[in-house]
């Protein structure tokens, strides 16, 4: 069964990691309640890659920042659109969006991806 993924890469100041994790856990619960198949928040751990472009270079993160790679899995793009429509109407998300994010939104990357290989 093909799936669809929303992917995010963002930089979080280390002093804000706890706040980010709290918000991410709450957001993940909302996405899952509205039908997301899976919700992942992954903090950089081994980012000193010797090949390709390392995430810290790509994101221009500083020594006092860490990189997050996060993704939400859906059944399909149509399913993603249905879930996100519900999520954006959820008052818990609206409340979260009113508070200051613990990261710089201008340095966040986001995109939707169709699954082409699943092993």
69-103 pLDDT, tens per residue? 999 999 999 999 999 999 999 999 988 877 778 88
Domain harbouring 83, CATH code: 3.30.70.100
17-67 pLDDT, tens per residue? 999 999 999 999 999 999 999 999 999 999 988 889 999 999 999 999 999
The span from the CA of 10 to the CA of 81, in Å, is 22
Instruction: Kindly state whether residue 89 falls inside one of the protein's structural domains.
Output: yes
Question: At a CB cut-off of 8 Å and minimum separation 6, what does 13 contact?
Answer: 64, 65, 102, 103
Question: At a CB cut-off of 8 Å and minimum separation 6, what does 67 contact?
Answer: 9, 10, 11, 12, 43, 44, 47, 55, 56, 59, 61
26 is in which domain, residue-wise?
Answer: 4-114
Instruction: Kindly state whether residue 98 falls inside one of the protein's structural domains.
Output: yes
| Structural domain count of the chain | 1
Instruction: Kindly state whether residue 119 falls inside one of the protein's structural domains.
Output: no
């Amino acid at each position: 069964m093909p799936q669809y993924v929303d992917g995010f890469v963002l930089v979080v100041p280390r002093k804000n990691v706890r706040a980010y994790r709290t918000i991410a856990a709450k957001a993940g619960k909302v996405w899952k309640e509205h039908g997301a198949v899976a919700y992942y928040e992954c903090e950089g751990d081994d980012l000193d890659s010797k090949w390709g472009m390392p995430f810290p270079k790509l994101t221009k993160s500083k020594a006092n920042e860490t990189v997050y790679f996060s993704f939400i899995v859906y059944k399909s793009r149509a399913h993603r659109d249905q879930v996100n429509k519900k999520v954006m109407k959820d008052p818990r998300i609206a409340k979260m969006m009113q508070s200051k994010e613990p990261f710089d939104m201008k340095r966040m990357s986001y995109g939707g991806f169709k699954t082409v290989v699943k092993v």
